[in-house]
Structure formats: structure tokens, C-alpha cells
Structure 1
Amino acid sequence: MARAKFQAPKGTQDVLPPVSARWERLLATYAQTVERAGYGLVQSPMFEEIGVFQRESEGADAVRKEMYDFDDKGGRRIALRPEGTASIVRAFVQHQPAAPWKVWYATPAFRYENVQSGRYRQHHQVGLEVLGSADPEVDVEVITVAWEFLQALGLRRVDLLLNTMGTADDRIRYVEVLRAFLQDRIGDLAEEDREKVERHPMRVLDSKRTETRRATADAPAIADHLSPESAEHFDRVKAGLGAAGIPFVLAPRLVRGFDYYTHTTFELVPALVDSAQSTILGGGRYDGLVEELGGPPTPGIGFGSGIERLLIACDAEEVFPGPTARVDVFVVDVTGQAQAGPITAALRAAGIRCDRTFDAKGMRAQMKAADRSGASHAVIVGEQELADGTATIRPLRAEFGDHQDAVDRDDLIFHLSTLLTKDPS
């Protein structure tokens, strides 16, 4: 009887070399960008008690319909993380670090949703949060760091969409006005959006369905129902972005996917990706979420960005390619392979990326492996080199020429370091 042949579950993917090297490079670029601004890494559990993600005020579809939740062996109701912010806030409440708390994360996230391009049931996010300051300048910094990250990836065709949700009181007043507007047009909305009118009317504005967008084209905007304090906050954010030279587009329909947002909300959308799910980074302020998770009144703001969607946007702009080689040097040992181990160990200790073959392969097979590795140079040790105490350095790529050198084994690291730092052009 044939054994079952397993595959990755629907909505997930295996990220294999060499593609995974591109992910590594993206994560390194992100870490460098945010740590330059004073953010520190937080690693939190991928699962939490369900109350961390599912709260009375929460009306997002990702929570109500798409959560991966289950009872563990202790009878606790547990959920896999659908997004990054709530876990960070839970950690803040639990550990009570000094504020403002500036942190970043990289994590898988889980949502049981329809699978399509850039949208997976397990996707991967990077993000950051600032807890403990209500200053609009913090909003500006968070958006600026997001912008700098996308710039570091080489992305240039990206629009920054900006809106404000006001305070909780502003929203209460606005929701009543919006609900009355939608009730008069409920028959014109897409059927899937009609149930939102009573419970979460602001979610109707976020719909991508054609009928709903047409019916709500002249819907009242929350910007017209802000308190003076909220209006001033938003004005300072816009002024700060202008001073930073970051262009933005006001987007009165932008309400984001979670109901905990207040004041500033924003999304970064690539111009060259034609998809209703094309947002590659989004976030906003959430000044009441810490209290909902049992902490003291504490303002907060942050963003999240999906790695899969980021790379789709990079492909559309033809930027941020993956590394062309996993190593710089490949050691070819045709003396029985007794020399390959010490040589690779010495090169790696000197910071040179290198590899070798195993299983006592012949010269031809080892040279094929060297070529497949993407290495720019091979270090060859044969019987003559072994007798002379030398090694032959042979270029493997045309841009490095075709001249090979026999060098003393004691000078091998120096010669390779010089070659690898030289511009081949």
C-alpha cells in the first residue's frame, strides 16, 4: 500500500532557497531601518488566549470569521495570531516597560480566508508599535519609518493614503450620521455589506465591492465630524509629513481593518499592482486598545506589512532582487577531500562565505557544483598543490576574467579577501 504523499496545507507555502535568501535580505533591511530609529525586537507567542484578539468592540472580519481558534488540552480557548499589534499590547500590559515603548516584530499571522495572490492563510508580517505617547510627532515618525523602509527596498511607485478616525467620541457621533445615510441606501449596497450597517457601519466604507462603493460615493466623511482637538492632531500630522517631504493623499474612506483605530490611519499602496488586496503596509493610532486588554489608559500607534505582498510590489517595479549566489568561494579538493574541511573552516572563520562537496566526488562533479553555487571563485587543491603547499584560485564568472593563480596556502585568505572586495568591472 502506497504511503500518503503530504503537501503544504492550502493557503500556505514553502519558501525555499534561493527565494528564502531574498526574505532574509528583506528582514535585514527592515531591522536596520527600524533599529536606526530606536526600535527594539519583541518575540511573543504565536498563539494567545482568544480574548487578546477577540474583544467586544471588535468587528473586523479577520476576527469574527477568520480566526484559527481551538481548545487546548487544558481547556483554554486559544487562537493563532491573526495580526501583530494585539500581542505587543498584551506584552506591554503584562511587563509594564517604561514608556514610550518602541518595538518591532516579525511574525507569521494566520487567517482562514480565501486564497489569492499575495493573500495566504499563513502569511508573514513585519511591523512596529509605539506605546505611551499621544504626540502627533510620533505618528509622523512611524509613517516616516515605514516610508524609509519601502524606499530602502527600492520602491518608488507607492502612494501614501492618509485619514483620521478621530477620538472614540468623534466616532460615536459620526457613526450615527453614517448609519442613517446607509439605511436610506441599504438596498443599493452589496448583499454581503448590508449586515454591517447596524453593527459596524464604518466597515461598509472599507468595502471593495462595486455596488457598495457606488452607493457610498457621497457618504459623509469623518473629517467633517471631528472635535477641534482631533482636527488639530490631524493637521499636525499632515504638517509633519509635509516638512519631511513625504507626499500623501487624503483618503476619507480609509478606515482600516480593525475597530480599535483612533486618529491617524494610513496605508501604502503600490501603483503597479492591480489588485483589491494591493496594500503592502498599513496602520494607525489605537489609543484605547491598552485599556481593553487590562492596562491603564495608554496611547499607541503602529503598522504592519506583509512580506509576500511587499515582494509582489518589488517584482512589479523590478527592484530588490534576491542574492545571485549563496557563497563567494567554492573549495574543490581532488586529493581525497582531506583538505576541503580545514580550508572551508579557515575561510569561514575569516568571514568568507564558502562551500564544498561531499562523498568524494571527482573534479568534474565538483566544478559543476561550484558553478551551481553561484560562487565567483573556486579554490582548487590537487596532488600538485598539496605537494607544493599551495592552492589554485580560479575565477568562475566572466566578469572576473580567466586568469588563475597558485598561491601559498598561508596567503590564501589574504588573496581571496582582496579579490572579493575588488570591483570586477
Structure 2
Amino acid sequence: MSKLQAIRGTRDILPEESTDWQTVEETAREILQQAAYREIRTPIFEQTELFERGIGEATDVVGKEMYTFVDRGDRSITLRPEGTAGVVRSYIEHNLYAAGGVQRLWYLGPMFRYERPQAGRQRQFHQIGVEVLGTDDPRADAEVIAIATDIFKTLGLKNLHLAINSVGRGDDRETYRQALVEYFTPYKDDLDKDSQDRLTRNPLRILDSKDPKTGEIAKNAPSILDYLSDDSKRHFDRVCALLSQLGIAYELTPTLVRGLDYYTHTAFEIQSDDLGSQATVCGGGRYDGLVEQLGGKPTAAVGWAIGLERLIYLLQQLGKTSDRALDFYLVSRGDRAESTAVLLAQQLRRTGFSVEMDLSGSAFGKQFKRADRSGAAACLVLGDAEAEAGTVNLKWLKTGEQETWTRSDLLAKADELREKLR
């Protein structure tokens, strides 16, 4: 019988790594809550039409990367390749706009794309994302960028830079699209195969090509910044001014168009200089036409997504991993001691301590060795004699210092113990 393994492009997040995930998630959750963002949870699969209409049929995501199947009801279903379309569908379906004002939403969960697996990139991957719906104010653009920056700084990342561009409104892009077609057409035979196909379907995506020869040709392509309307220029200039006011450095990147069709105005990426070719850890922008495109009322919106696999890979490469501290490792030997240990462990946990109870039933010597390996601050020792006397022996594992406490004092003097544990 063959050995069962995880499917290519998926991976198990094992216990020794899950602490890093929890740290990232908790950091983001706290910062987002401070900024009045509320969590939304949407299904991991949707009607295929949602992504075809929302992302764009001419994109690589829809054309090459989606996991799509026909279910038993003969419906075309797709595992979500990104989070924005599902959030917008929910926003429309549940009339979230009816509350008035701005909706600040965030999400966390798995996404699915059929891509070549590599470090920090999987076919099942995870994203944290934000969506601000109901305002076209440039301050919203600056706010979401500032929040992403705060998350990365809190996690200890430093070598990051913000690449930013404006892709204008629909009419700006159409004019620019024609200019790109005129520019690239004489070079058609020199472009890579994907870019040749994009020339008629989605020429802006040629600017994002990773092919070196195409990249050289694209260097002299017209800049979209020269095709922006006055309104688009004012919006973009205001965003850049606000970023400067916030002390967030940025680099104007006219070739930055992002990979999805729904972007308008601001497009940006936060990139790490420590990640090599897979440099982007956060990408986003404004998508003022998407809500209407999916059947809702015209609604301006802006957001971003952070790829967690790539972010955590970066943290691990930089040695910024986190260990969840354990307060006590509880060892016991003897029938009465083992029963008392169960009660004591639960009492300490209810008091707010983290406790691991040894369940091996082996000799004290072996249990002490496991206590040393556990990373706990202290070892609690219970034998039948201590259980009968109502006491517990406490050994500080770094210093070897030992103390004897009554179990009632151990619980009553929790604050004193916490000071020592620090």
C-alpha cells in the first residue's frame, strides 16, 4: 500500500511552526481592531462566475490558475483564488452598505491557485486582507498602507520598500491601453509567448512580465502617469502627500499594474529586500468599479492582501521566529499524586498560567529530563507525600533553585509567581 502524503503544493503547518503563524495572526488582529476594522468570514468556494466577472477572464488567475469543478448540482464552482471578490459579493448580498458610512472589513483564510510551488508560495496558501468600502477619499488609500506597514514593523521587519503607481480610471486605462498596443506591436515577435497573447487581450499585463527580454522592451514603454486625467492625478498626488506626512517612504513605479483587472487609481506593493525574486509580501490598491461590476451600487473601495506563507518564510529566514513560553511543567509519581496533578494543572490554567502535565507515569528522573527539554520556566513536582501534605515542590529550571509551596499559596499568590516567571 502506497504511503499517503499531502498533495503537491499543499503543506502541513506543524506544531513547532504554528506559533509563528499565531504570532502573525494575533499581531494583525490587534492592529486591525485598533483601527476599527471588523472581521468577515466568507466561504472558500464560490460560483465560478464571481471570479470571472470580478477578477477578469483575461487574467492569468482566471485563465490558468483557478481550481474549478462542476458539483453534483451541475454548477461550476471555484475554490477562491483571492479574497476581495468574495467579500464584495457578501457586501452586496447582505446589504452591508445599508448601514451607511464606510465599511472597514478584514479577513483571514486559505486561497487556492494552481501555480508552481516554491519557497513561500503554495497552491493552497493563506492571506490576511483588508477592504475599505464606501469611500473614494485618498485618506483611505493612505490608511490601509499605513496599517500594513505597522503590522510589518511590529513583527520586526525593516528592509521593506513601498512601490506605488496609479492605474487611473477606466477611461484613462483605455487610452493607455491603446498606447501600449501601438508601442508593443512592432516588437510582437520578440515578446514571450504569454505577452504576445496579452497584446490584444490585456496589454497592461505585459509590463508585469518576468521574461528578461520582454522586460527590456517594456522599459521604454509609455508611462501610465502620462495618461492620467486631472482627477486621477489629484487623487494620486494626495495619496503620495499623505504617505510622506506619515513618514512612509515610497517609490513611484509606473510599470506596477498588479495582476487583477479590477484595480483603479492606486496600486501598490510592499516588497522585502530579503526575499530575492519573490519580493512582494503585500499587494493591493483601489477598485472603485468592482462592486458595481458584481451587481451592486457604485461603491468606491480600496484594500490589500498579505501572503502569510511568504511573510512567515521571511520571518524564519531573518531569525524572527517566536516561541510560546511555558510557565510550568508538572511531574507526578504515585496514584494520589497523579490524581492531584490533574486537579492542580487545571486550577493553575484557570488562574492564567500555561501548564504541561507529564502523562508518562515513568520514573521521576525521566520526567525531569522532559521538563528540562520543555522550555518551561519551572518544574512542579508532586509525589504521594506532597499530595497528602497539600504541598508541591517548585524547581526553577534555569537556576536549579528549589522551593516548597502549599498548593493553596501557589494559587493564591499568582501575581507574585508571575513576577518571578518574567
Report the TM-score, using the length of structure 1 for normalisation.
0.95
Give the SS at the match of 2:53: coil
Q: CA deviation at 1:403?
A: 1.2
Task: Tell me how far apart the structure 2 counterparts of residues 403 and 152 of structure 1 sit (CA, whole Å).
Answer: 35
Residue 82 (structure 1) aligned with residue 91 (structure 2): no
- Structure 1 alignment gaps of length 5 or more: none
Query: Which one of 212, 215, 231 corresponds to residue 229 of structure 1?
Result: 231
Instruction: Give the conservation status (yes or no) of the 8 Å contact 1:385–1:391.
Output: yes
Q: Deviations over 1:105-128 (max 9, x none)?
A: 101000011111111100111110
What is the percentage of aligned positions where both structures have the same residue?
A: 40
Give the partner amino acid of 2:94. H
Give the partner amino acid of 2:9. G
Aligned to 2:301: 300
Q: CA deviation at 1:359?
A: 4.6
Task: Tell me how far apart the structure 1 counterparts of residues 339 and 268 of structure 2 sit (CA, whole Å).
Answer: 59
Aligned to 1:370: 371
Task: Tell me how far apart the structure 1 counterparts of residues 373 and 58 of structure 2 sit (CA, whole Å).
Answer: 51
Give the SS at the match of 1:376: strand
Give the partner amino acid of 2:38. G
Instruction: Please provide the CA RMSD for this pair.
Output: 1.5
Instruction: Give the conservation status (yes or no) of the 8 Å contact 1:58–1:260.
Output: no
Task: Tell me how far apart the structure 1 counterparts of residues 16 and 411 of structure 2 sit (CA, whole Å).
Answer: 27
Q: CA deviation at 1:240?
A: 0.5
Query: Which one of 191, 194, 213 corresponds to residue 192 of structure 1?
Result: 194
Give the partner amino acid of 1:189. L
Task: Tell me how far apart the structure 2 counterparts of residues 334 and 417 of structure 1 sit (CA, whole Å).
Answer: 28
Q: Deviations over 1:173-226 (max 9, x none)?
A: 110001110102112222332111110000000111101101111110110000
Task: Tell me how far apart the structure 2 counterparts of residues 376 and 417 of structure 1 sit (CA, whole Å).
Answer: 15
Query: Which one of 134, 154, 157 corresponds to residue 155 of structure 1?
Result: 157
Q: CA deviation at 1:324?
A: 5.1
Task: Tell me how far apart the structure 2 counterparts of residues 116 and 103 of structure 1 sit (CA, whole Å).
Answer: 30
Residue 255 (structure 1) aligned with residue 257 (structure 2): yes
- Structure 2 alignment gaps of length 5 or more: none
Aligned to 1:101: 103
Instruction: Give the conservation status (yes or no) of the 8 Å contact 1:11–1:122.
Output: yes
Give the SS at the match of 2:13: coil
Aligned to 1:67: 66
Aligned to 1:142: 144
Task: Tell me how far apart the structure 1 counterparts of residues 279 and 10 of structure 2 sit (CA, whole Å).
Answer: 19
Aligned to 2:177: 175
Give the SS at the match of 2:376: coil
Aligned to 1:338: 339
Instruction: Give the conservation status (yes or no) of the 8 Å contact 1:162–1:264.
Output: yes
Task: Tell me how far apart the structure 2 counterparts of residues 230 and 31 of structure 1 sit (CA, whole Å).
Answer: 32
Q: Deviations over 1:309-341 (max 9, x none)?
A: 11122234333x22154x211111112211111
Aligned to 2:282: 281
Task: Tell me how far apart the structure 1 counterparts of residues 419 and 22 of structure 2 sit (CA, whole Å).
Answer: 22
Give the SS at the match of 2:58: coil
Which segment drifts farther, 293-302 or 91-100?
91-100
Aligned to 2:420: 422
Q: CA deviation at 1:371?
A: 2.5
Instruction: Give the conservation status (yes or no) of the 8 Å contact 1:157–1:317.
Output: no
Report the TM-score, using the length of structure 2 for normalisation.
0.95
Q: Deviations over 1:46-94 (max 9, x none)?
A: 0001111112844221121110011111111100010011110000010
Give the partner amino acid of 1:364. G
Q: CA deviation at 1:416?
A: 5.5
Instruction: Give the conservation status (yes or no) of the 8 Å contact 2:331–2:367.
Output: yes
Give the partner amino acid of 1:23. W
Instruction: Give the conservation status (yes or no) of the 8 Å contact 1:58–1:258.
Output: no
Task: Tell me how far apart the structure 2 counterparts of residues 105 and 83 of structure 1 sit (CA, whole Å).
Answer: 11
Q: CA deviation at 1:415?
A: 4.8
Task: Tell me how far apart the structure 1 counterparts of residues 419 and 4 of structure 2 sit (CA, whole Å).
Answer: 45
1:295/1:150 CA distance change after superposition, 3 Å: same
Query: Which one of 27, 30, 55 corresponds to residue 29 of structure 1?
Result: 27
Residue 47 (structure 1) aligned with residue 45 (structure 2): yes
Q: Deviations over 1:98-155 (max 9, x none)?
A: 3411010101000011111111100111110001100011101011111111111111
Q: Deviations over 1:153-179 (max 9, x none)?
A: 111100100000100010001100011
Task: Tell me how far apart the structure 1 counterparts of residues 130 and 152 of structure 2 sit (CA, whole Å).
Answer: 14
Instruction: Give the conservation status (yes or no) of the 8 Å contact 1:59–1:258.
Output: no
Give the partner amino acid of 1:41. E
Q: Deviations over 1:283-303 (max 9, x none)?
A: 000011111111010111100
Give the SS at the match of 2:275: coil
Aligned to 1:110: 112
Give the partner amino acid of 1:296. K
Give the partner amino acid of 2:410. L
Give the SS at the match of 1:148: helix
Q: Deviations over 1:243-270 (max 9, x none)?
A: 1111000011100010110000000000
Instruction: Give the conservation status (yes or no) of the 8 Å contact 1:62–1:111.
Output: yes
Q: Deviations over 1:346-402 (max 9, x none)?
A: 001101010112252321232233233221111111133223211011112x2xx22
Task: Tell me how far apart the structure 2 counterparts of residues 348 and 65 of structure 1 sit (CA, whole Å).
Answer: 50
Task: Tell me how far apart the structure 2 counterparts of residues 234 and 329 of structure 1 sit (CA, whole Å).
Answer: 54
